[in-house]
Structures are given as C-alpha cells and as structure tokens.
C-alpha cells in the first residue's frame, strides 16, 4: 500500500493506493481504496467526527438553518454518533443538561452533550423511552437509519423505506408544532406514500441530496419543515 499526497486545499488529502496483491478480493480492494481516498472520510478524521455522514447533516443544516441553540433533538439510528455530535454542537447541548437524545441497537462511545439509548427503535418501548429521556417534545427528529443490506437492491430499498415511514409516523406523533423532520430515503417509487403523509402534516417538504452524499448513491434525504401540529383528540 502506497500513499501519494496531492495538492492541499481546505483539507490536505492523501491518496492511498492498495496493491492488487494485497490478499483482498478485487471488489473489496476497490471499495477500500475508494473509502480511504474519500476526502470526507479524511476530513472527518481531521475534524474529530465519528463518520463522513456528519457532513451530510452539516451541509443540510447550513442550507436550511434547522438546528438552533436550545432545540431538543431526537436522532434515530445514531451510531456511530456523527449526527449526534453535530446536533449537540449546533444546539449548544451540554453534558450536564443534554437536550439531544440518540438511539441505536449498535453500541457506540458516549457523545458530549447527548444521551444515547442502546436499543432498537423498532422495539415497542422505544418511542416512549425517547420522549421520557428527552423530557419533552422534540423540535426536530433526525433519522439516518438504513436497513442492513442484503445485496438485493429492491429488497434493501423497501426495507429502508419502511424505516423512513416508521420514523415519519414517530415524528408526527411527538414533534412540537413548527418542528422539523429529516430522514434518509432512497430514490424510487415507494417513497410516495411517505411523501403524501409528510405533505399532509408539514408546511413544506423537500428532497435533498447534500454534496457529502456520494453522487452514484441512490440515497436522498426527505426534509419536512414546519409541522402543522396534531389534531386535538
């Protein structure tokens, strides 16, 4: 494995080439080489973020101005913690009085300014537990959840769309009036049901593909702004 530096920009990028005789399958070698040469991956290490995904939230927030000091935030599918890091910093959530709560069935290291629940969001007890720990209604619900891939694109798409729909139902049930919802989705037909649900409950709905989302990826984000509020029972 050899490293070749390129011209520095805002962040110095180091090009890594993995030799073909590395014991890896060719597909694995290409993926690893692309990952290691990804400027967002290198930048995340330099900036102290858990993953390159942190920049997706940063870029969306820079454009739409979602996160403000004092906001209460719920982060679904939080591991490894990049979105929690960004949300805690931008809402000025403190370790003593955190107002960012994340959840994931995968374990992860603590995040300053956030409380993280190690449990499956699809567990029946999870929604109530999130609201209990947050101690109130959230101003924004974030979801970067994606189902573990099977290798079958259609199946993976449907499973992740299901998570998006469940996250949307949850957001509608807990958000403050005027709150926002941001969720990963995939390009394709099945998101229409989720879009219809969001358009009925929020004043504006946007498809967003931040620069940090790889161009060849079918990944998109749904942003629903200004929750209309729940009808009184």
Give residue 187's pLDDT.
77
Q: Does residue 116 register a pLDDT over 70?
A: yes
State the DSSP H helix or E strand holding residue 206, giving kind and residue range, or none if neither.
strand 202-208
Q: Give the number of other Cβ atoms within 10 Å of residue 206's Cβ.
A: 15
The better pLDDT of the pair 40, 78 is held by 78
Per-chain mean pLDDT for the chain: 84
Residues noted as catalytic = 184
pTM of the model: 0.82
Contacts of 120 (CB under 8 A, 6+ apart): 105, 126
Residue 190 has what DSSP assignment? G
Residue 148 has what DSSP assignment? P
Name the residue among 110, 225, 219 with its Cα closest to residue 178: 225
Token pair in block for residue 157? 């798409």
Structural domains in the chain, CATH included, are 2-37 (no CATH), 54-227 (3.40.50.150)
pLDDT-based confidence at 160, cuts 50/70/90? Answer: confident
Q: Give the number of other Cβ atoms within 10 Å of residue 10's Cβ.
A: 7
pLDDT-based confidence at 200, cuts 50/70/90? Answer: very high
Q: What is the pLDDT of residues 24-61, one digit of tens each?
A: 565 444 534 454 455 666 676 767 788 889 999 999 99
């Amino acid at each position: 494995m050899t490293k070749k530096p390129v011209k520095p920009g805002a962040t110095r990028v180091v090009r890594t080439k993995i030799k073909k005789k590395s014991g890896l399958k060719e597909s694995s070698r290409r993926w690893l080489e692309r990952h290691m040469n990804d400027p967002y991956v290198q930048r995340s290490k330099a900036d102290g973020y858990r993953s390159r995904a942190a920049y997706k939230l940063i870029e969306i927030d820079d454009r739409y101005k979602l996160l403000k000091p004092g906001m209460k935030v719920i982060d679904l599918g939080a591991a490894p913690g990049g979105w929690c890091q960004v949300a805690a910093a931008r809402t000025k959530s403190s370790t003593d009085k955190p107002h960012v709560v994340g959840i994931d069935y995968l374990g992860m290291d603590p995040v300053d300014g956030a409380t993280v629940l190690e449990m499956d969001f699809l567990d029946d007890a999870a929604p109530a537990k999130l609201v209990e720990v947050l101690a109130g209604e959230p101003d924004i619900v974030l979801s970067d959840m994606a189902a573990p891939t099977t290798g079958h694109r259609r199946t993976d798409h449907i499973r992740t769309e299901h998570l998006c729909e469940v996250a949307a139902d949850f957001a509608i049930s807990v958000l403050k009036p005027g709150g926002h919802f941001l969720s990963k989705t995939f390009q394709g037909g099945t998101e229409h049901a989720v879009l219809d649900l969001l358009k009925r409950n929020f004043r504006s709905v946007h498809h967003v593909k931040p620069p940090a989302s790889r161009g060849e990826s079918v990944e998109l984000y749904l942003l629903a702004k200004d929750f209309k509020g729940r009808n009184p029972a």
